[in-house]
A and B are shown apart, each in its own frame.
Chain A
Amino acid sequence: MSLSGLFVQALNGLAAASTLFLLASGLSLIFGVTRIVNFAHGSFYMLGAYVAWSLTDRLQGAIGFWFSIIAGAAAIGVIGMIVELTIMRRIYRAPELFQLLATFALTLVIKDATLALWGAEDLLGPRAPGLAGAITILDRRVPQYDLALIASGPLVLLALQLLLTRTRWGVLVRAATQDRQMVAALGVNQAVLFTSVFALGAALAGLGGALQLPREPAGLSMDMTAIGDAFVVVVVGGMGSIPGAFVAALLIAEVKALCIALGDWQTPLGFIVAFPKFTLVAEFAVMAIVLILRPWGLMGRPDTTIRPQGSTSSLLTQPGTRQSWFIAGFALLLFAAPLLVEARSYTLVFGIDVLTAVLFAASLHFLMGPGGMHSFGHAAYFGLGAYAAALCAKALNWPMWAALVAAPAGGLIGAILFGWFCVRLSGVYLAMLTLAFSQIVWSVVYQWDGLTGGSNGIVGVWPSSWYSSKAAFYCLAVIVCGGATLLLRRILFAPFGYAMRAARDSVARSEAIGLDVRRIQWIAFSIAGAFAGLAGGLFAFSKGSISPETLGVSRSIDGLVMVLLGGVDTISGPIVGAAVFLFLQDQIARHVEYWRAILGLFILALVLLFPAGIVGTIRAWTLRR
């Protein structure tokens, strides 16, 4: 590998760093002031690229091009303002998970709106007029546009720094980042401040997307890759820190560039290490290392709010005799279902889906509700269980029961390993680290063709002959999922469950009475991982095939939606949430083309109208009577 090659890759890294910084600075700014982690930030980035594409399509020449870029960014700023005024404003007081859910729903709506307006095809943007050529540096051709991009990052950093330190608006933003209640007590209308910050952040994301247009086409997958990158940069840099975001963007982009530059490396031991394959994991690996060494990012400061104020969780109550009978009756009804519906019918397949989803949601709820640890990467343990079961069944020819024992073991081992790091953090940082680990697992599974089948996954994972009929497998699912869910519930009322809930409510007080909080949280994390793995194992056998999709981000998000849909502070919440969610997804996806938008609007309505979830709201109603 030559020096000039390394140099060109380093330049490439710098150009990528600028885009990352534009994206992350807006996200960081919005988080700093409003404390909202804006999942829709990647969607603003994507929209920026699409709007700029439409404008450059109509406006020719250098002036037309640059005007399109600026106008595209401004348009996204206006969209951001509308979003803030109609949605964000109503959820500033909501628990942070609801805010995330609302912004996630927004990504669904924006994605389908983009699909409807611009179509599914990738749209190739124009070359930048005047910068279409390349110049020669160290015998290598470097696109002029890349050099312009490299300059854009520091320029925006400078402009933001001037704005934040030299204007009254900037001083107010910095003051609000620190103590927004005090800023209000001094007579500053926060609403105006929040709207303007949100608009500016959205415009920065839009600018990033628009500037990217000459380098890569506008496509519908831009939003999710962008938000992943932006989260990582913001967390590595420290939430709310603009210079931190800049440093983190440089670090991550250069590490990725280095991976590409190193290429395949023949180790003395004979096997080949393919560094370019590490690019998918590189940023998450950097994030994991930084968070372990500096839990609040490179330039961030410790988050003082452990739990949002005023969110006193309601008490969990042990089931009484009547409820126990109700549960028993419900279980009987579930068993009787195959007799009521036609065997092999779609209803049974759907029932199995619901049952595995219920167990997955219950395990996530265990971690999030009573455990107080918000996970954005719970699908990793589900997927590890699924792959463990599938590999045992296919590669080792184990019988199904043995593979189903291996499944929770797979989830457990992953959770023990990752949980050790995760319990060292709290709040948003914990959530981001879980996301990072799940991305790492996903990348490994996706790239390890030899073991996992890569993107094709593993096919032909069928249950033993005993359970090959749908009705029999359904009954197995009822026993396993029902039993496991009840066991999870039982743990909550065991001494360990009390300790876990105490650790959630107050770390300091729990430690003062002799509880080892980290150990308790680590065990809780591991338990949740094992049960998710069990759900994954059943899933593998019920579907017959699995792919990296099984442990992708979208499954983690689905799990979050199910738990929040039912209500975090209720035990039966995840059960109801999973069932309702799957039913809706099934019904909407079968009949409507733009099902994502419908689902998104549904979630938004839910968050705005039923902030306590379905079960929580029903209980509030009955209590009021």
Chain B
Amino acid sequence: MTEPFLVVSGLDAFYGAAQILFSVGFELAPGEVVALMGRNGAGKTTTLESIMGLVARRTGSIVFRGRELVRLRPYEIARLGLGFVPEDRRIFTDLTVLENLEVGRRRPMQSSETASEPWTPERLFQLFPNLAEARNRSAGRMSGGEQQMLTIARTLMGNPLAILLDEPSEGIAPIIVDQMIGMIAELKRSGVAILVSEQNLPFAAAVADRAYILEHGQIKFTDDIRSLIQNEEARRAYLEL
């Protein structure tokens, strides 16, 4: 494995008095796609939101490219090159598609790690042809799948080095899921690291290199994705209903 890129260790997170995460730890290498798996309520979304600084109280350590994130605010974390795609999409429904992309726009970072050229709306429309037709339409009038595409495109406008992708296959049509798999592969080729939270093993198997499994807010299992597919015992223990 290459030098660590995103290293989470001893991460605890709380909603009010309730502790959701218990000493969660994992790593993500540059250009790697890692699946964060587990059943509903296991703490996948909370983990991603904790990294992004969107959880009110979190302790432990989250180091991204040598910077400690625990004390930083969400916008500072985003500016370090971390993109966040929320599960519930959170697109700006009052804005047009192009305006949504504009909110996400950030200059690429001065770094040798971003070899590829910066994202523009035109480049994104090649990746997501559906969005091109709707560019001046109100984002609130789009289908669920299109909105999911828009959230990812919006995050890419910030030219992130790593993306936290929360349940991308949730609630969208199978044909869009296939598009999504292709898109993640494309992003990986361009050198972006991706941490994807996912319940669906076939989807994770199609996109990820490795997987961590969360249960009750703790990392219970980690392995290569291929080994996980073969490990019936782990699948039954942590993933199946």
Residues of A near any B CB (own CB < 8 A): 168, 171-172, 174-175, 177-179, 181-190, 310, 312
A171 touches B103 (CB 8 A): yes
B90 touches A179 (CB 8 A): yes
Can you list 11 A-B contacts (CB < 8 A)?
A168-B105, A171-B102, A178-B94, A181-B54, A183-B103, A184-B74, A185-B54, A186-B75, A187-B75, A187-B79, A188-B103
Check A185/B94 contact, CB under 8 A, given A172-B103, A175-B103, A310-B56: no
Residue B16 CB within 8 A of the other chain? yes
Given contacts A185-B75, A185-B78, A185-B86, 9 further A-B contacts (CB under 8 A): A175-B95, A175-B100, A175-B103, A178-B95, A183-B103, A186-B75, A186-B104, A186-B158, A189-B75
Name the one of A177, A190, A312 contacting B75, with C-beta atoms under 8 angstroms: A190
B92 touches A174 (CB 8 A): yes
Residue B73 CB within 8 A of the other chain? yes
Name the 9 nearest CB pairs between A and B, nearest first: A187-B78, A184-B74, A182-B90, A175-B103, A175-B92, A184-B75, A185-B84, A186-B104, A187-B79
Task: Point out the residues of chain A lying under 8 angstroms from B102, CB to CB.
Answer: 168, 171
Task: Point out the residues of chain B lying under 8 angstroms from A184, CB to CB.
Answer: 73-75, 78
Task: Point out the residues of chain A lying under 8 angstroms from B56, CB to CB.
Answer: 310
Binary CB contact string for chain B from 87 to 131 against chain A (1 if under 8 A, 0 otherwise): 000101111000110111110000000000000000000000000
B54 touches A186 (CB 8 A): no
Check A179/B74 contact, CB under 8 A, given A186-B154, A187-B79: no
A171 touches B99 (CB 8 A): yes
Chain A: CB-nearest residue to B84: A185
Task: Point out the residues of chain A lying under 8 angstroms from B95, CB to CB.
Answer: 171, 174-175, 178
Name the one of B93, B94, B103 contacting A186, with C-beta atoms under 8 angstroms: B103
Please report the C-alpha to C-alpha distance between residue A121 and residue B73 in the assembled complex, in whole angstroms: 49
Chain A: CB-nearest residue to B92: A175
B106 touches A187 (CB 8 A): yes
Chain A: CB-nearest residue to B105: A168
Of the listed residues A172, A174, A177, A187, the one surrounded by the most CB atoms of chain B closer than 10 A to its CB is A187
Task: Point out the residues of chain A lying under 8 angstroms from B147, CB to CB.
Answer: none
Chain A: CB-nearest residue to B74: A184
Please report the C-alpha to C-alpha distance between residue A185 and residue B104 in the assembled complex, in whole angstroms: 9
Check A182/B86 contact, CB under 8 A, given A174-B94, A312-B16: yes
Residue B155 CB within 8 A of the other chain? yes
Q: What is the distance, in angstroms, from A197's C-beta to the closest C-beta of chain B? A: 15
Task: Point out the residues of chain A lying under 8 angstroms from B74, CB to CB.
Answer: 181, 184-185
Q: What is the distance, in angstroms, from A160's C-beta to the closest C-beta of chain B? A: 15
A-B contact count, CB below 8 Å?
A: 62
Q: What is the distance, in angstroms, from B53's C-beta to the closest C-beta of chain A? A: 8
Task: Point out the residues of chain B lying under 8 angstroms from A172, CB to CB.
Answer: 103
Chain A: CB-nearest residue to B99: A171
Chain B: CB-nearest residue to A177: B94
Please report the C-alpha to C-alpha distance between residue A179 and residue B92 in the assembled complex, in whole angstroms: 7
Count the B residues whose beta carbon is within 8 Å of the partner chain — how many? Answer: 26
Residue B69 CB within 8 A of the other chain? no
Check A188/B16 contact, CB under 8 A, given A171-B103, A172-B103, A174-B95: no
Task: Point out the residues of chain B lying under 8 angstroms from A183, CB to CB.
Answer: 103
Please report the C-alpha to C-alpha distance between residue A182 and residue B78 in the assembled complex, in whole angstroms: 11
Please report the C-alpha to C-alpha distance between residue A183 and residue B52 in the assembled complex, in whole angstroms: 12
Task: Point out the residues of chain A lying under 8 angstroms from B73, CB to CB.
Answer: 184
Q: What is the distance, in angstroms, from B187's C-beta to the closest C-beta of chain A? A: 17
Binary CB contact string for chain B from 173 to 204 against chain A (1 if under 8 A, 0 otherwise): 00000000000000000000000000000000
Q: What is the distance, in angstroms, from B67's C-beta to the closest C-beta of chain A? A: 15
Task: Point out the residues of chain B lying under 8 angstroms from A186, CB to CB.
Answer: 75, 78, 84, 103-104, 106, 154-155, 158
Task: Point out the residues of chain A lying under 8 angstroms from B93, CB to CB.
Answer: 178
Task: Point out the residues of chain A lying under 8 angstroms from B90, CB to CB.
Answer: 179, 182
Task: Point out the residues of chain A lying under 8 angstroms from B75, CB to CB.
Answer: 184-190
Chain B: CB-nearest residue to A186: B104
Please report the C-alpha to C-alpha distance between residue A197 and residue B99 in the assembled complex, in whole angstroms: 19
Chain B: CB-nearest residue to A179: B90
Please report the C-alpha to C-alpha distance between residue A177 and residue B92 in the assembled complex, in whole angstroms: 9
Task: Point out the residues of chain A lying under 8 angstroms from B79, CB to CB.
Answer: 187
Chain A: CB-nearest residue to B52: A185
Chain B: CB-nearest residue to A170: B99
A178 touches B92 (CB 8 A): yes
Please report the C-alpha to C-alpha distance between residue A188 and residue B102 in the assembled complex, in whole angstroms: 11
Task: Point out the residues of chain B lying under 8 angstroms from A181, CB to CB.
Answer: 54, 74
Please report the C-alpha to C-alpha distance between residue A174 and residue B103 in the assembled complex, in whole angstroms: 10
Please report the C-alpha to C-alpha distance between residue A188 and residue B158 in the assembled complex, in whole angstroms: 10
Please report the C-alpha to C-alpha distance between residue A310 and residue B102 in the assembled complex, in whole angstroms: 31
Chain A: CB-nearest residue to B15: A310
Chain B: CB-nearest residue to A181: B54
Task: Point out the residues of chain B lying under 8 angstroms from A185, CB to CB.
Answer: 52, 54, 74-75, 78, 84, 86
Binary CB contact string for chain B from 130 to 163 against chain A (1 if under 8 A, 0 otherwise): 0000000000000000000000001100100000
Please report the C-alpha to C-alpha distance between residue A310 and residue B86 in the assembled complex, in whole angstroms: 21
A187 touches B158 (CB 8 A): yes
Chain A: CB-nearest residue to B158: A187
Task: Point out the residues of chain A lying under 8 angstroms from B100, CB to CB.
Answer: 175
Task: Point out the residues of chain B lying under 8 angstroms from A168, CB to CB.
Answer: 102, 105
Task: Point out the residues of chain A lying under 8 angstroms from B16, CB to CB.
Answer: 310, 312
Q: What is the distance, in angstroms, from A153's C-beta to the closest C-beta of chain B? A: 23
Of the listed residues B52, B56, B74, B86, the one surrounded by the most CB atoms of chain A closer than 10 A to its CB is B74
Please report the C-alpha to C-alpha distance between residue A186 and residue B100 in the assembled complex, in whole angstroms: 11
Of the listed residues B79, B92, B103, B155, the one surrounded by the most CB atoms of chain A closer than 10 A to its CB is B103
Task: Point out the residues of chain A lying under 8 angstroms from B86, CB to CB.
Answer: 182, 185
Q: What is the distance, in angstroms, from B85's C-beta to the closest C-beta of chain A? A: 9
Please report the C-alpha to C-alpha distance between residue A312 and residue B105 in the assembled complex, in whole angstroms: 36
Q: What is the distance, in angstroms, from B58's C-beta to the closest C-beta of chain A? A: 14
Task: Point out the residues of chain B lying under 8 angstroms from A312, CB to CB.
Answer: 16
Q: What is the distance, in angstroms, from A170's C-beta to the closest C-beta of chain B? A: 9
Chain A: CB-nearest residue to B78: A187
Please report the C-alpha to C-alpha distance between residue A486 and residue B78 in the assembled complex, in whole angstroms: 53
Please report the C-alpha to C-alpha distance between residue A168 and residue B92 in the assembled complex, in whole angstroms: 14
Task: Point out the residues of chain A lying under 8 angstroms from B78, CB to CB.
Answer: 184-187
Please report the C-alpha to C-alpha distance between residue A175 and residue B93 in the assembled complex, in whole angstroms: 9
Please report the C-alpha to C-alpha distance between residue A578 and residue B79 in the assembled complex, in whole angstroms: 48
Please report the C-alpha to C-alpha distance between residue A171 and residue B154 in the assembled complex, in whole angstroms: 13
Task: Point out the residues of chain B lying under 8 angstroms from A188, CB to CB.
Answer: 75, 103
Q: What is the distance, in angstroms, from A456's C-beta to the closest C-beta of chain B? A: 52
Q: What is the distance, in angstroms, from B214's C-beta to the closest C-beta of chain A? A: 21
Please report the C-alpha to C-alpha distance between residue A587 and residue B99 in the assembled complex, in whole angstroms: 56
Task: Point out the residues of chain B lying under 8 angstroms from A175, CB to CB.
Answer: 92, 95, 99-100, 103
Q: What is the distance, in angstroms, from A4's C-beta to the closest C-beta of chain B? A: 43
Please report the C-alpha to C-alpha distance between residue A317 and residue B73 in the assembled complex, in whole angstroms: 37
Q: What is the distance, in angstroms, from B195's C-beta to the closest C-beta of chain A? A: 15
Q: What is the distance, in angstroms, from A506's C-beta to the closest C-beta of chain B? A: 15
Q: What is the distance, in angstroms, from A277's C-beta to the closest C-beta of chain B? A: 41
Please report the C-alpha to C-alpha distance between residue A183 and residue B102 in the assembled complex, in whole angstroms: 11
Q: What is the distance, in angstroms, from B227's C-beta to the closest C-beta of chain A? A: 33
Please report the C-alpha to C-alpha distance between residue A82 and residue B52 in the assembled complex, in whole angstroms: 30
Task: Point out the residues of chain B lying under 8 angstroms from A310, CB to CB.
Answer: 16, 56
